[in-house]
Amino acid sequence: MNMHLLAGIAVLLILVAISAYREALRNEPISRIRMNQGDRLPPSDETE
């Protein structure tokens, strides 16, 4: 097989994996730990 073809397929697979990972992070529900920390810490944008 041509090395350029293999490199192109590898890059395509990496891009698909990154896209799927970002989509999974976007759809992840907020965990209890994050909610509890948010109650104790003031929002960083409003403290300036």
What mean pLDDT is predicted for residues 1-8?
93
Residue 38's pLDDT is 54
How confident is the model over 16-26, as a mean pLDDT? 91
- Mean pLDDT score across all residues of the chain: 78
Evaluate if residue 32 carries a pLDDT over 60: no
> What is the DSSP secondary-structure string of 1-48?
--HHHHHHHHHHHHHHHHHHHHHHHHTPPPPHHHHHHHHHSPPTTTT-
The pTM is what?
0.53
Q: Which amino acid is at 6?
A: L
Q: Which residue has the higher pLDDT, 9 or 26?
A: 9
What is the reported pLDDT for 2?
Answer: 93
